């Protein structure tokens, strides 16, 4: 194992850690992935190294980050026989992501930093091809837009497909978390639904629409015509909008220049 000893400043707030050490469960989770022997896999939160070791046996190289100095110091004995692991004692949120090759992410992330981690990974110039992130069920549903869309979920969907692929028992972790936990799979779309250059405009469109309503940007006639041409269901007053409806209306609002 290669160890890169970097000074790690204590986090400004406690980082929740719920360790997953059961080898059978870890092996079962990896069967849900597309990770192969040709992949570089990034892990966030090495913890006690159980997932790290399993990843190293399935991929070409593991790059793993652990902010806790005590945990990092104890990794040497557990991972010393793995030559394809690079462990870094650093806050992942301050680290540089791989730039020279494609990579995937598999991690049992700290729940208190879920949104920050997902934003860092999805906003990166060289974002991962796929991610399998273990997180609180509520957070996963929020990213995936279950049961209804939010600005966050709708802003991710032009670029990512998301699906919950595993539901844990809380007793799978130690200490057991106070919330239900799942594994959320992110797959980067080969062809985004909107050009990357339009991402900021789309987020602004979503923010304004969720705050003021879609009729603040388009007339009812424009909305109905756009949805009808796309073969999509019309929007009823009592309904929440689907991602495909937001996408359709953004494309039309951009075309008719009614959105600022």
The domain that holds 11 is classified in CATH as 3.40.50.150
pTM for this model (two decimals): 0.90
Which tokens belong to 253?
A: 């609002």
From 145, 165, 188, the end of a domain falls on: 188
Average pLDDT, the chain: 91
Same domain, 200 and 141: no
Residue 8: pLDDT band by 50, 70, 90 thresholds? very low
Average pLDDT over residues 228-243: 90
- What are the tens digits of pLDDT across the range 38-72? 999 999 999 999 999 999 999 999 999 999 999 99
Residue 254: pLDDT band by 50, 70, 90 thresholds? confident
- What are the tens digits of pLDDT across the range 20-43? 999 999 999 999 999 999 999 999
Tell me the C-alpha to C-alpha distance, in Å, between residue 190 and each of 1, 158, 193, 208: 34, 11, 10, 28
- The reported pLDDT for the residue numbered 96 is 94
- The reported pLDDT for the residue numbered 13 is 37
From 171, 188, 205, the end of a domain falls on: 188
Residue 260: pLDDT band by 50, 70, 90 thresholds? very low
- The reported pLDDT for the residue numbered 11 is 38
Q: Is pLDDT of 12 > 50?
A: no
Using a pLDDT cut of 90, give the percent of the chain over it. Answer: 84
Same domain, 46 and 142: yes
From 154, 188, 222, the end of a domain falls on: 188
Same domain, 16 and 124: yes
- How many domains does the chain fold into? 2
Domain that holds residue 27: 2-188
Residue 238: pLDDT band by 50, 70, 90 thresholds? low
- The reported pLDDT for the residue numbered 256 is 54
Same domain, 204 and 91: no
Which tokens belong to 30?
A: 């990896």
Average pLDDT over residues 214-220: 92
Strand ranges for the chain from DSSP E: 2-4, 19-20, 40-44, 61-65, 85-88, 104-108, 130-136, 160-167, 173-174, 181-188
Which tokens belong to 114?
A: 């879920």
Same domain, 26 and 148: yes
Same domain, 216 and 169: no
Strand partners, 173: 20
């Amino acid at each position: 194992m290669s160890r890169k000893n970097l000074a790690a400043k204590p986090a400004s707030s406690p980082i929740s850690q719920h360790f997953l050490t059961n080898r059978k469960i870890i092996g079962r989770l990896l069967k849900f992935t597309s990770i192969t022997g040709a992949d570089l896999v990034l892990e966030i939160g090495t913890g006690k190294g159980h997932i790290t070791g399993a990843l190293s046996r399935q991929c070409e190289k593991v790059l793993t980050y652990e902010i806790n100095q005590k945990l990092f110091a104890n990794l040497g004995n557990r991972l010393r026989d793995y030559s394809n692991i690079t462990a870094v004692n650093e806050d992942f949120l301050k680290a540089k992501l791989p730039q020279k090759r494609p990579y995937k992410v598999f991690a049992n992330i700290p729940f208190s930093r879920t949104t920050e981690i997902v934003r860092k990974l999805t906003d990166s110039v060289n974002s991962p091809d796929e991610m399998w992130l273990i997180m609180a069920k509520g957070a996963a549903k929020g990213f995936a837009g279950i049961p209804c869309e939010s600005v966050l979920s709708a802003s991710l969907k032009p670029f990512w497909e998301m699906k919950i692929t595993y539901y844990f028992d809380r007793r799978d972790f130690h200490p057991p978390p106070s919330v239900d936990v799942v594994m959320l799979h992110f797959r980067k779309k080969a062809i985004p639904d909107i050009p990357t250059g339009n991402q900021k405009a789309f987020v602004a469109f979503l923010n304004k629409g969720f705050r003021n309503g879609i009729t603040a940007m388009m007339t009812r006639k424009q909305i109905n015509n756009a949805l009808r041409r796309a073969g999509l269901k019309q929007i009823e007053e009592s309904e929440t909008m689907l991602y495909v409806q937001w996408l359709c209306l953004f494309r039309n609002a951009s075309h008719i220049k009614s959105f600022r």
